[in-house]
Chains A and B, each alone.
Chain A
């Protein structure tokens, strides 16, 4: 009885076309934003930020990026780890080459650099489709990781091959480096997530998003009705890589602080983000949030229950985690191929009728 469109009359085209036409949805969205921006920063501490919130926010941006490429445009990509590495190294080089410029601008520029690299590795998608493209993106993944390991210019000729984020401030508050306060790191990531989600939602609602979905559903038919496959696929790669690059830059600069590219941005990262969008729901912005939350919280939950609660050794917990993640992927693919986002949509549909049965 709360979730109704009845009585809510739209009097302008702008109102009619808005993202959340139902009043309840709109107020819920404002409420979530209010809690996220105005309440959580005051209640947060280091553990929650580092274990839960920062990985959740950063992986959400990466999941939004991969969802645009794989969920909306249908181009399977296993190169997410490599592109996150590009974002991280780009922001590192920019921070060290131009230390006076604000680090937030550097993060956006790192996204632009990654978009360029993404377009380059997306060029084969015009000839190669499906699995073959997935394997071709593996070429991007392995090559990029190798390149960042071997070419010393990228890590400023340091002896260890690691890169570490120098301290930077914004409006007088430290946001990168080891002295960062928990709430400052959280707010930076939250702002990026909000802007990314708004940008992605509006892109996918517009004509570009419709072109992507046409390519996904049947690319030859799309070409026949006038969708330019070159433009649509390359723009999907570019925009997706922009988001993934921004997430990689934040991952390095704000969250980890120091990175060794082989272990942090390896193939496991690519699979992790892919699992997030599968579980969350392909082709859904909310699904990116849901999948990222699920796969960030699951290991934390398992560790607290199994190791903290039952006293099992950590390697058992790690093996069980693998089994549960793999099992859940299969369960989701069988029972609900459209992921948590579909479950959410079905819930909303049921709520619109509640308390009536039909």
Chain B
């Protein structure tokens, strides 16, 4: 088999893995948009904040240590304990639920019935606020996150492909684990929304707020629940990305990467987020591999957006999104 084709296959597989990671982030967006019509720009910052909280709790950091030291002149940094990963994740989940409740009570209850663009801009404000708050609370240096996920090259695939193609594919263990976790997560979320009472209530709220209210669904409870689930998805995404490249500011930029995924898949569809993520992941990597060297490289910055843009011109609602019907 020609060399370029073998390399292309490797790039394709890596693209699929990258796509899964994008889809993980996009899932959080879809959940919140489905249930409350809010496009949550702060999802990426939520992933960063949850990862920072997890590291902080596991390492026993003192929250706001920098601020306390500046005001009081002390030198406290750590409590001295080290939590196991599972306990850290549970505590972080509790923090994310509290955050969801706060966001609901402080911000979105006052913005009910506003236009979508106002809600979007409120989430941009929330993203900036949470970024500053997270940095203030846990410090802005790069942190290493280690919850026990396997990392490094998968040796089994390396050897097998070497035997077949004479060239060992480099597939990271972490990516495989991320794929499995994402599949599980999607399965759990779909099962939750289809087969449980709360999931049904969530779908009712997504369909029509007022009708759901009249049937007896508590809107604020559903919204807090949805934001908590989105927070959980953000935590998973934050753990994946944080283990890959460290917990740092650039984690919040993955929200920007999830946007073309959403545009492609449609804002209201969970399978759309997955399929969109895979298409963007594969498309990005293949484009960079095939055409990148000709036009200067680093095309991954913008290719996803241009692809989504071109796609939108022909199908404005995305692959699986609800058809946009406008009435006068």
Contacts and interface: CB of A to CB of B under 8 A. Distances in A.
Interface of A: 76, 124, 127-132, 134-136, 138-139, 142-143, 145-146, 149-151, 218, 220-221, 224, 267, 271, 274-275, 278, 311-313, 315-316, 319-330, 333-334, 337
Contacts of A320: 132, 136
Chain B binding surface SS class:
helix
A319 to B, nearest CB: 4
B124 A271 contact: yes
B3 interface: no
Contacts of A131: 39, 116-117, 120, 267
Contacts, number: 143
Chain A binding surface SS class:
helix
B259 interface: yes
B295 A150 contact: yes
B288 to A, nearest CB: 12
Given A131-B39, A319-B132, A322-B131, A150 B296 contact: yes
A39 B271 CA distance: 63
Contacts of A278: 121
Interface in B110-149: 110-111, 114, 116-118, 120-122, 124-133, 135-136, 140
A220 B131 CA distance: 39
Contact of B129 (A134, A330, A334): A330
Highest count of chain B CB atoms <10 Å: which of A127, A143, A151, A319: A319
Contacts of B259: 135, 138
Contacts of A221: 328
A321 B132 contact: yes
Interface stretch (B155-163, B171-179, B308-316): B308-316
Contacts of A322: 128-129, 131-132, 135
B129 A326 contact: yes
A323 B125 contact: no
B67 interface: yes
B49 to A, nearest CB: 13
A271 B126 CA distance: 13
B202 interface: no
A76 B39 CA distance: 14
Given A128-B316, A220-B326, A316-B136, A325 B128 contact: yes
11 contacts: A130-B116, A135-B260, A146-B298, A146-B302, A149-B298, A150-B297, A316-B70, A316-B136, A323-B128, A326-B128, A326-B132
Contacts of A149: 298
B318 to A, nearest CB: 9
Interface of B: 39, 66-67, 70, 107, 110-111, 114, 116-118, 120-122, 124-133, 135-136, 140, 256, 259-260, 262-263, 267, 295-299, 301-302, 305-306, 308-309, 312-313, 316, 324, 326-328
Given A127-B313, A127-B316, A319-B132, A329 B305 contact: no
Nearest to A221: B328
Contacts of B305: 135-136, 138-139, 142-143
B298 A327 contact: no
Given A278-B121, A316-B67, A326-B129, A124 B312 contact: yes
Contacts of B39: 131
A128 B314 CA distance: 10
B130 A326 contact: yes
Contacts of A333: 111, 114, 118, 121-122, 125
Given A139-B309, A319-B135, A327 B296 contact: no
A267 B296 CA distance: 21
Nearest to B136: A319
Given A131-B120, A145-B301, 14 more contacts: A135-B262, A135-B308, A136-B309, A139-B305, A146-B301, A220-B327, A275-B124, A323-B132, A323-B136, A325-B132, A326-B131, A329-B128, A333-B125, A337-B118
A326 B316 contact: no
A137 B308 CA distance: 11
Highest count of chain B CB atoms <10 Å: which of A274, A315, A322: A322
Contacts of B124: 271, 274-275, 329
B121 A329 contact: yes
A287 to B, nearest CB: 14
A-B pairs, 8 with minimum CB distance: A322-B132, A329-B125, A326-B129, A326-B128, A139-B305, A323-B132, A150-B296, A142-B302
Contacts of B312: 124, 127-128, 132, 136
Given A127-B313, A128-B316, A312 B306 contact: no
B256 A130 contact: no
Contact of A334 (B110, B256, B326, B328): B110
B296 A151 contact: yes
Nearest to B132: A322
A254 to B, nearest CB: 29
A148 to B, nearest CB: 12
B300 to A, nearest CB: 10
Contacts of B110: 334
Contacts of A329: 121-122, 124-125, 128
Nearest to B110: A334
Contact of B263 (A135, A271, A274, A275): A135
Contacts of B262: 135
Nearest to B135: A319
